[in-house]
Amino acid sequence: MAILLYQLGIFNEMPSKVFMDADYISLRNGLELLQQQYHFPLEEIITEEGKLHHQLVILINGVSIDKAQGLETFIRDGDKVLLTGLVSGG
């Protein structure tokens, strides 16, 4: 399957189009596979408690994973995944 991965200021070494050998996979497992391939610091995304880091936001096809099943949300062929840090200001 092919996933379009958008990242805003997070891990520039990750590609924008990712291929995985699966029909669908949980976001958590997908991130673990990407970490093995591209050696980015997974602990900056998933905490030791197994949760999404509090300063990050992940959207799948424009929907926050908080509105779905969190890191257990399944991603499928053609999905668009956005990974970004929180932005604030005044």
Q: Output the pLDDT for position 78.
A: 92
Q: Are strands 24-26 and 56-60 parallel, antiparallel or unpaired?
A: unpaired
Residue 9 is assigned to a structural domain of this protein: yes
pTM: 0.85
Model pLDDT for residues 34-85, shown as the tens digit of each residue: 888 888 788 888 999 999 999 899 999 999 999 999 999 999 999 999 998 8
- Which residues lie across from 37 on neighbouring strands? none
Residue 90 is assigned to a structural domain of this protein: no
Residue 21 is assigned to a structural domain of this protein: yes
CATH number (domain holding residue 81):
3.10.20.30
In terms of residue numbers, what domain contains 29?
2-85
Residue 66 is assigned to a structural domain of this protein: yes
Residue 17 is assigned to a structural domain of this protein: yes
CA distances from 72 to 9, 88, 90 (A): 24, 27, 34
Domain count along the chain: 1
Residue 19 is assigned to a structural domain of this protein: yes
